[in-house]
Homo-oligomer: A and B are copies of this chain.
Amino acid sequence: MTRWEPNGRGRLELAALALYGERGFENTTVAEIAALAGLTERTFFRHFADKREVLFSGADALHELLVSNVAAAPDSTGPIDAVGAALEAAGGLLQERREYARRRAAIIAANAELRERELIKLASLASAIADALRRRGIADPAASLSAEAGIAVFRIAFERWVDETNQRDLPELIRDSLDELKAVTAGK
């Protein structure tokens, strides 16, 4: 027997997702999330640096997956395609949790502070991808540009994916989005 119910962190994440979804991020207090998870406010802040971070702790796994996939691409693959392939693989994982991803996306889209946090997470992702490209021998600014362009491609594909009307899979949308970027920059 343990003194506490297990997985307090996970319970806090679930409680936050539920309350943010029901009544919105702004109309939810940390005390309410903690109470729903059977914990105290203080414990919430031990697990998460702030009220927003509770929605973003899963991002680390995605982060590492992307970096290792960029590193694992064949030597002959150019930077933008190495990034594209890594994004498609990550998109495959998100595809499997589509309902969760869409609920979370709706919560974030509804609040400016959460959108800010999401953008800085994506920026740090771009920075990590650029590092991985540099380790492949790609010089700057090509490394930074490929990473940033890749993130832009991902964002636009993701937006289309969460659109109710769109039934296509995320990896497919990512591939199309990258192709479209190539067409645009080629002056088509």
Contacts and interface: CB of A to CB of B under 8 A. Distances in A.
Nearest to A116: B116
Contacts of A145: 152-153, 156, 177, 180-181, 184
A172 to B, nearest CB: 13
A156 B151 CA distance: 14
A57 B3 CA distance: 52
Contacts of A156: 141, 144-145, 148
Interface residues of A, number: 36
Contacts of A180: 141-142, 145
Contacts of A119: 116, 119-120, 123
Secondary structure of the A contact surface, majority rule = helix
B116 A187 contact: no
Interface string A122-148: 010000000000000000011011101
Interface string A55-75: 000000000000000000000
Contacts of A184: 78-80, 142, 145-146, 149
Contact of A116 (B120, B152, B181): B120
22 contacts: A78-B184, A79-B184, A80-B185, A81-B187, A112-B120, A116-B116, A119-B120, A119-B123, A141-B160, A141-B176, A142-B180, A145-B152, A145-B153, A145-B177, A145-B184, A148-B155, A149-B152, A152-B152, A181-B185, A182-B185, A182-B186, A185-B185
Nearest to A173: B141
Contacts of A1: none
Among A142, A152, A182, A186, which residue has the most Cβ atoms of chain B within 10 A?
A152
A115 interface: yes
A117 interface: yes
A115 B159 CA distance: 23
